[in-house]
Structure 1
Amino acid sequence: MGDFTSALGMLYWTIMIMVTITSVLGNGFIVFVNGDLWFQNRKMVLCDILLSALSTSRCLSQFVVLMNNGLQFVFSENHLNSYRHNVLFLVWFFSEIVSIWCNTWLNVFYCVKVTNFLSRPFLWVKTRINVLTLKLLGMSIVVSLIFSLPSAISYYDQKKWCNRTGRQTLNASQSKVCKDINTVFLLPQLCVFTINFIMNITASILLLISLWRHTRNLRNSGIGVKDLNTRGHVNVIKSLICYVFFYLLYYAGMIIYANHVTKLSEIAIIISDTLSSLFSLSHSIILILTNPKLRNWCAYMLNFRWRAS
């Protein structure tokens, strides 16, 4: 998005800067709180490890997107074929892989911990989820990166050829040689996003079903709607529905991103980047509001600042 002087460009940059800064503050707050608790206790529970890794990778991803767009504004089209762009893309790609897998396994972790389905495979996983989660997270990231290696090798081989020829040949058999790095990595990105989408939606639906059943049982047992347990479950259901809504928007943004890569649409860039940043922001807010430690810290800091002012 290089045309900053246009009305569309100014709107894009205004939205991106506001959303990115707020998202970094939200995710940075999660990292700060968990880091402070780790420093005090010298240990961190699995949930906090996943939250910290997720928030750190999201902060890095947001910084890279903003930096890349800024460099594209300064250097225009020359930036897209530069070494800077390639390095930033690889850093973004790695941080995005880490963040989406952390997000997925965090969602699966919550689902397995909270839900109660009477089946042997599920009960087996439930008793071992604490041990399995980090191993599965590490394996998922490693496998995703290994799956992306052919694309990386293909791109840099093509890059060498393009540097030697200095131009793109018109020969039909060689017309795909000088590809943009976004195009080359499109297939592994879509595969990882799709796998995570299926896992996330499945875990969210199972969690919603379990919470809804439990809430219904509480109401049928004669406990009023104003009961704290019932209200707590209802609030979690609302938060989960919000998460699913923004996650669907995020996945839609990834599809639009794929369309941008193939058709180079300026509108697609705006929508894709905005939806991605919006999901990072909204999810960090949901995590803070639904996590007692983070919520209490946030309330304490806001109250402290309000009194200080």
Structure 2
Amino acid sequence: MPSTPTLIFIIIFYLLSLASMLQNGFMMIVLGREWMRTRALPAADMIVACLASSRFCLHGISILTNLLASFDLCYQANLAGILWDFTNTLIFWLTAWLAIFYCVKISSFSHPVLFWLKWRISQLVPRLLLVSLIIGGLSAVISATGNIMANQIISSQGFHGNCTFGHMSLDFYRHYYLSHAVLMWSTPFFLFLVSIILLMFSLYRHVEKMRGHRPGSWDPHIQAHTMALKSLTFFFIFYIFSFLALVISSTKSKTMQNYWYWAREVIIYTGIFLNSIILVLSNPKLRKALKMRF
């Protein structure tokens, strides 16, 4: 029987996951209907639709994985974990592409590469989505390979019948999945961070240029910078929480009876939930649909 703090975190995790699935399902329905009605979506909305679909799947897979592991169905839980790695990697890259898209479209730099991207980024979005799927598939292959190797170590150590790991298999998991995190998640994190820094620098330059104009004059360019930075700030918080929690989980062993395991799960999915709220409020189509519903 789990302790009281563990039980509280378990309840919060499942309620939060169900609420997030409803939230991302709403985004999928609204943008999906718009996609079917107009046969096209703006590039940013296309990324948001894919991001909402991926997060919906991530929450569903996470619920399934934890339920299977709770009943000691380790083989099935490992299979679901491979899907979790695929979906999580996909979300990291989609978030990075969205930040890059905002940076390229809104920033006012005059570099030839950025100028070329400003006119080509919308046409490149479908290819970027395909690249995300390929990288996610590669992450799933790496995860499956790690599970096979870990199972061989467990068999050689004589552990059978439950989810207990020996010291060798734990050491392998820590080093293997830490390398996996660095390879698959730190690269989009770096791209996302660079995009935020460039947007902030672009906003600073534009404000400096506008100082000679009439005080209090409304500038749509500054407003676009500010709105994008507000959204990306919450993306950044989500990245920090998720990235650190995932890296820590790759280096430290926590059983499902330990409340720190469920606390980590709550931290990760709270970040995703709050980030999805920002996506809804910052997107005109989603905000309009939400007002019509309520």
Q: TM-score range by the shorter chain?
A: 0.7 to 0.9
Identical residues among aligned pairs (%): 25
Contact 1:50 1:106 (C-alpha < 8 Å) held by counterparts: yes
Change (3 A) 1:259 1:272: farther
CA deviation vs aligned residue, 1:24-46 (integer Å, no higher than 9, x gap): 22211211110111121122232
TM-score for the superposition, normalised by structure 1: 0.79
Q: 1:254: which partner in 2?
A: 246
CA deviation vs aligned residue, 1:46-75 (integer Å, no higher than 9, x gap): 2222111111111111111122223333x2
Task: Find the aligned partners of 1:83 and 1:31 in 2 and give their Cα distance.
Answer: 31
- 1:30 partner letter: M
Structure with more relative contact order (C-alpha pairs < 8 Å, separation 6 or more) = 2
Q: Which of 175, 182, 199 lines up with 2:191 in the alignment?
A: 199
Task: Find the aligned partners of 2:262 and 2:48 in 1 and give their Cα distance.
Answer: 28
CA deviation vs aligned residue, 1:63-95 (integer Å, no higher than 9, x gap): 11122223333x2xx33xx22111110111111
Task: Find the aligned partners of 1:97 and 1:207 in 2 and give their Cα distance.
Answer: 24
Task: Find the aligned partners of 2:285 and 2:186 in 1 and give their Cα distance.
Answer: 32
- 1:69 partner letter: N
Change (3 A) 1:100 1:206: same
Q: Which of 250, 266, 276 lines up with 1:284 in the alignment?
A: 276
- Tell me if 1:56 matches 2:53: yes
Please report the RMSD computed on the Cα atoms of aligned residues, expressed in angstroms: 3.1
Q: What residue ranges of structure 2 are gaps of 5+ in the alignment?
A: 161-165
Change (3 A) 1:147 1:300: closer
Q: 1:15: which partner in 2?
A: 12
Tell me the CA shift for residue 118 of structure 1.
1.2
Q: Which of 77, 81, 104 lines up with 1:85 in the alignment?
A: 77
Task: Find the aligned partners of 2:180 and 2:133 in 1 and give their Cα distance.
Answer: 12
Query: Which moved further from structure 2: 28-37 or 186-195?
Result: 186-195
CA deviation vs aligned residue, 1:176-203 (integer Å, no higher than 9, x gap): 3688878754422332111111111111
Q: Secondary structure at the residue paired with 2:252?
A: helix
TM alignment of 1:63-102, pairs within 5 A: 63-73=60-70, 75=71, 78-79=72-73, 82-102=74-94
Task: Find the aligned partners of 1:287 and 1:164 in 2 and give their Cα distance.
Answer: 48
Q: 1:121: which partner in 2?
A: 113
Tell me the CA shift for residue 291 of structure 1.
1.1
- Tell me if 1:40 matches 2:32: no
Contact 2:106 2:224 (C-alpha < 8 Å) held by counterparts: no
Task: Find the aligned partners of 1:275 and 1:218 in 2 and give their Cα distance.
Answer: 41
Change (3 A) 1:296 1:279: same
Change (3 A) 1:282 1:267: same
Change (3 A) 1:24 1:150: closer
Task: Find the aligned partners of 2:11 and 2:20 in 1 and give their Cα distance.
Answer: 14
Q: Secondary structure at the residue paired with 1:176?
A: helix
TM-score for the superposition, normalised by structure 2: 0.83
Tell me the CA shift for residue 166 of structure 1.
4.3
Task: Find the aligned partners of 2:18 and 2:96 in 1 and give their Cα distance.
Answer: 24
Tell me the CA shift for residue 223 of structure 1.
4.5
Contact 1:112 1:126 (C-alpha < 8 Å) held by counterparts: yes
- Tell me if 1:189 matches 2:181: yes
Q: What residue ranges of structure 1 are gaps of 5+ in the alignment?
A: 169-173, 303-309
- 2:8 partner letter: L
Contact 1:57 1:99 (C-alpha < 8 Å) held by counterparts: yes
Contact 1:111 1:203 (C-alpha < 8 Å) held by counterparts: yes
- 2:66 partner letter: N
